Amino acid sequence: MIKDYHFGSIVIEGKTYKRDVQIFPSGELKAWQRKVSHEVAIEDVKEVLEQKPEIIVFGTGSPGMLRVFDDIREEIKSQGIELIIEPTKKAIEKFNELKNEGRKTAGFFHLTC
């Protein structure tokens, strides 16, 4: 699904994106705007949570600067959803692996810092 990633750019299904993206378990892709630039709030993931993914993968940027606070982690886990948080390059590898296994996976990918 995700073919390439470099700082500030991601290639998904042959199309290049220059903004952060969210991928729903259904495969739908949207730009990912957050309430606060380098932090994740529950509102930032609410739409994906409605699709009840099995796993959510967060790509926290090239050096991993995006913060996923404990309250978000706890909320996601309380819904029985597995959570993976890694710098974006590693998160993409894991996301692709899970999708190839047929797992109901959602992804949030921060493309810069």
Per-residue pLDDT at 77: 96
Indicate the number of domains in the chain. Answer: 1
Per-residue pLDDT at 18: 97
Per-residue pLDDT at 27: 93
Domain of residue 58 covers: 2-110
Per-residue pLDDT at 15: 96
Distance CA 21, CA 26 (A): 14
User: Which CATH number do you get for residue 17?
Assistant: 3.40.1230.10
Residues of the chain with pLDDT under 70: none
Give Cα 57 distance to the centre of its chain: 5
| Single pTM value for the model | 0.95
Sorted by sequence, the CB contacts under 8 Å of residue 88 that are 6+ apart come out as 5, 59, 60, 61, 62, 109, 110, 111
E strand or H helix that includes residue 75: helix 70-78
Per-residue pLDDT at 1: 87
